[in-house]
Structure 1
Amino acid sequence: MQHHDRNSDQTTLTESPLAFDFQATTPCAPEVVEAMAPYWSELWGNPSSRQHRLGLTAAAAVNLARRQIADSLAVAPERLIFTSGATEANNLALLGLARRRGQGHVISVSTEHHAVLDPLAQLEREGFRVTLLNPGTDGLINPAQVEQAIATDTILVSVMAANNEIGVLQPLEAIAEVCRHHGIAIHSDAAQAFGHIPLQPDALGLDLVSLSAHKLYGPKGVGALVVRDGITLEPLQWGGGQEAGLRAGTLPTALIVGFATAARTALQDRVQRNHRLQTLRDQLWEGLQRRIPGVLLNGAMEPRLPHNLNICIPGITGSRLHRALRPHLACSSGSACSSGAPSHVLQAIGRSRAEAEASLRLSLGRTTTDDEIQLAVERIAAAVCATRS
């Protein structure tokens, strides 16, 4: 029997950076890797090839996965359009609906991910009007803001479910009710929400919902757009007519099977996982407050993703803080896609450029332990101390 030494765990942990960036991506769960394995080689057929067994086997796997993901969302399977990820799903939803309508006004939020903001900028170049609402200092949008922004030619509202940086959960159901009252479609980027909080598009009143597999321990390179019946979109690409003509191209069977496995696994342990991670997240926040006088929370603590903490340490140089921390702890100052630029999300909720640079997004994962929380507090406090000195 192998002797287990708690001190050896501590020694091992100090040898490599602690992982606190699970909102950027997650590792594939072992059961996901196992489920995908046959479809890389042994069962290599094209699901569009229905004339032989290899193709039929792949098609059956895709159909089963589609049904499993749809069941987890309480929607009909045919409403799921597979994409390469949430970025493509966002583009298909926003550009697809607007271009089908031909003209009009779109409302969104200044704290959205660039996968929403950049397609909206493209729509502006094409002649559409775009209004970006500014949230309060808590990061939240009030449904009354949406009501006030609606014009006679408004065709679409897009509000993300859970913010990728500060983790706050927008009041989607209330915003969707405003949209329904005015007969306006509503889209939500739910990449950070699916698998982590309850998400049923119909119950929330959502018309278009973007999903990603790699945020919930599934593979990178696959996602989906959920489309309500009656919503018509212009495709972004043309070819073999796959996915009801909305997304041409050979379907990646292995990735889709992995996506479905990840979604099922996430739903099975979501309540227990969330309780554990929220407890650890709260311990992290309490520890940082004890060790770092003046540390600030970015965004509302509630409602918030249970595995997200975003803090600001005023009065220090952000670049020096991140440089001191990099060998010891993997986290970020903003979105994984921001290329080091100061967070537009944090500046939108009132942080200065310097404060945004001196902020840390700390996101916990399934493997995060009590020991890692304690070590993270120590390492962040030490980095702050080194930066200040």
Structure 2
Amino acid sequence: MWAPLAARRTLVDAMNTPAHTVYLDHAATTPMLPAAVEAMTAHLLDVGNPSSLHASGRRARRVVEESRERIARALNCRPGEVVFTSGGTEADNLALKGIFWARRAADPARTRILASAIEHHAVLDPLDWLDQRDDAEVELIPVDREGRLDLDALRDAIERDPGSVAVISIMWANNEVGTLQPIEEVVSLAAPHGIPVHTDAVQAVGQVPVDFASSGVDALTLTGHKVGGPYGVGALVVRREVAVTALVHGGGQERDIRSGTIDTPAIAGLAAAVELSVKHQAEHAERVRRLRDDLVAGVLAAVPDAVANGHPELRLPGNAHLTFPGCEGDSLLMLLDARGIECSTGSACSAGVPQASHVLLAMGRGDEQARSSLRFSLGHTSTDADLERLLEAIGPVVERARAAKAPQGVKRA
């Protein structure tokens, strides 16, 4: 049943999370749905490689193919378009490198890759690798102050030399500020020139309507642990007519573009999670949107100079991203964590050195603003009690963070 999850934590969540913890980081990972746990554990003791021809292998293959069909129905694609991977990062790498290599091999003039400036690092880093190691010409398309793609800039980049563009990659929804991207408009700009479009939909599936066929995209990334499924499993949904060069070579599994023995139990769990999260997407979105709106209103009441980031309407329902002037986001995170409230910053941390969020910088924020933000993301276990705990804590925590940042001997008004 889905409905009870709105009122209580799941059994798995309760077993693995202290009762006092308020978990507001569902965009990073969300607790597994009981149905996904059941589907996965039902096959953990089964013997049989899905590529084997004997009875045990055929039973495993049946589980995999039935799971593939369930995911295809949920996303409105063909079963043969679902290629299982180890997760979103592998799927993004497979899409970008694989399509780029295949397109360039067919036409050496196709050396350009267009992507938004606010992509997840699972997209940006392979693009940087292609730029540095494989002579790709990567162009990052700007966004506006609300995080929406500049379609005019994308049009100009395409029309400047459409024959040189190998692939376009635009995320469905931004993982930090929650802004939804104009995917259908992107496809409309690319289609007349025969340019394939990839979208990282890791944050979108189960949160907003995602229809692969009607969107017109050629490749779509999803992962299990964002939709209530297991870690370490995901998929690249890619049209059969799109050529993709393999990253990994071996047994030729998954259309010969993703070799390796596939994880039958995890795939069963993924299918259950995708099916349920898509089936209940509308009611889930309505519930977490109400919680999100209450959260933002409560934070702004407690901290009047805080600023909400991202598009006010075209956004993920459970995402609240706020800037707290005069604070370091990492300090806020740790102060909240000490009170048993878990969220995330809008910045990446490399080797212990905080870095400003590339997303906020691309949205025109200054370095200090880009380092003073928090993301609160709600999910199927979030409750009103979670919000009450946060709203009780946020004012004192912000004051403490500001006091810690202020120069010694200087008091903030």
What range is the shorter-chain TM-score in?
A: over 0.9
Residue pair 1:24, 1:336 contacting (<8 A) in 2 also? no
* Native 8 Å contact 2:333 2:342 kept in 1: no
The residue type paired with residue 60 of structure 2 is A
Aligned with residue 155 of structure 2, among 118, 125, 147: 147
1:31 to 23, 32, 35: 35
1:97 aligns with 2:99: yes
1:47 paired with 2:50, answer yes
The DSSP-based 3-state class of the residue aligned with 1:131 is: strand
Give how far 1:334 is off: 2.7
Deviation at 1:14, TM superposition (A): 10
Residue 383 of structure 2 corresponds to residue 373 of structure 1: no
Residues 1:245 and 1:14: Cα distance change in structure 2 (over 3 Å): closer
In structure 1, the gaps of 5 or more residues are: 1-8
> CA 1:314/1:335 → structure 2, altered by over 3 Å: closer, same or farther?
closer
Matches within 5 A, 1:73-112: 73-102=75-104, 103=108, 104-112=111-119
Shift of 1:353: 2.1
1:327 matches 2:334: no
Shift of 1:178: 0.5
Change (3 A) 1:335 1:238: farther
Secondary structure of 1:40's counterpart equals coil
Displacement of 1:80 in angstroms is 0.8
CA 1:201–1:255 in 2, change beyond 3 Å: closer, same or farther?
same
Whole-angstrom CA distance in 2 between matches of 1:212 and 1:235: 19
2:176 partner letter? E
Equivalence for 1:353: 367
Residue 3 of structure 1 aligns with which residue? Answer: none
Measure how far apart 1:336 and its partner are.
7.4
Q: Secondary structure at the match of 2:355?
A: coil
Match of 1:251 among 262, 269, 279: 262
Q: Distance in 2 between matches of 1:58 and 1:370?
A: 42
| TM-score (ref. length: structure 1) | 0.93
Q: What is the letter of the counterpart of residue 28 of structure 2?
A: A
Amino acid at match of 1:80: V
3-state DSSP of counterpart to 1:309? strand
Whether 1:135 and 2:143 are equivalent positions in the alignment is yes
Counterpart position of 2:410: none
Instruction: Supply the distance in 2 between the matched residues of 1:236 and 1:186 (Cα, whole angstroms).
Output: 19
Identify unmatched segments of 5+ residues in structure 2: 1-8, 404-413
Change (3 A) 1:122 1:320: closer
Query: What SS does structure 1 have at the residue aligned with 2:197?
Result: strand
State which drifts further: 318-327 or 124-133.
318-327
State which drifts further: 364-373 or 245-254. Answer: 364-373
Shift, 1:337, TM fit: 8.0
Letter in 2 for 1:382: P
Relative distance call for 1:338 and 1:362 in structure 2 (3 A) is: farther
Structure 1 residue runs of 4 or more that deviate by more than 4 Å after TM superposition: 12-15, 335-340
* CA distance in structure 1 between the partners assigned to 2:21 and 2:130 by the alignment: 41
Q: Are the equivalent residues in 2 in contact too, given 1:218–1:259 (CA < 8 A)?
A: yes
Contact 2:309 2:323 in 1 (8 A): yes
Q: Post-superposition shift, 1:50?
A: 1.5
> C-alpha separation between the residues in 2 aligned to 1:111 and 1:199?
20
**Residue equivalent to 2:376:** 362
- CA gap 1:335/1:64 in 2 versus in 1, 3 angstroms: farther
1:386/1:14 CA distance change after superposition, 3 Å: farther
Cα distance, 1:142 vs. partner? 2.8
The two structures, once aligned, show a CA RMSD in angstroms of 1.9
Q: TM-score, normalised by structure 2?
A: 0.88
AA at the equivalent of 2:363:
I
For 1:111, the aligned partner's letter is: I
CA distance in 2, matches of 1:15, 1:35: 26
| Cα-to-partner distance string for 1:39-85 (whole Å, 9 max, x where unaligned) | 111x221111122x211111000010000001111111011110001
Partner SS for 2:345? coil
For the residues of structure 2 that align with 1:35 and 1:92, how far apart are their CA atoms? 27
1:351 positional shift: 2.0
With over 3 angstroms needed to count, the CA separation of the structure-2 counterparts of 1:242 and 1:377, relative to structure 1, is same
How many residue pairs get aligned? The number is: 377
Q: CA deviation at 1:237?
A: 0.7
Q: Secondary structure at the match of 2:236?
A: strand
1:17 aligns with 2:21: yes
Aligned position for 1:5 = none
Measured in 1, the distance between the counterparts of 2:210 and 2:323 equals 30
| Paired residue secondary structure (1:310) | strand
**Percent of aligned pairs sharing the same letter:** 39
> Aligned-pair distance for 1:194?
1.1
Give the letter aligned to residue 157 of structure 1. Answer: I
Larger mean Cα displacement after TM superposition, 74-83 or 315-324: 315-324
Give the partner amino acid of 1:47: P
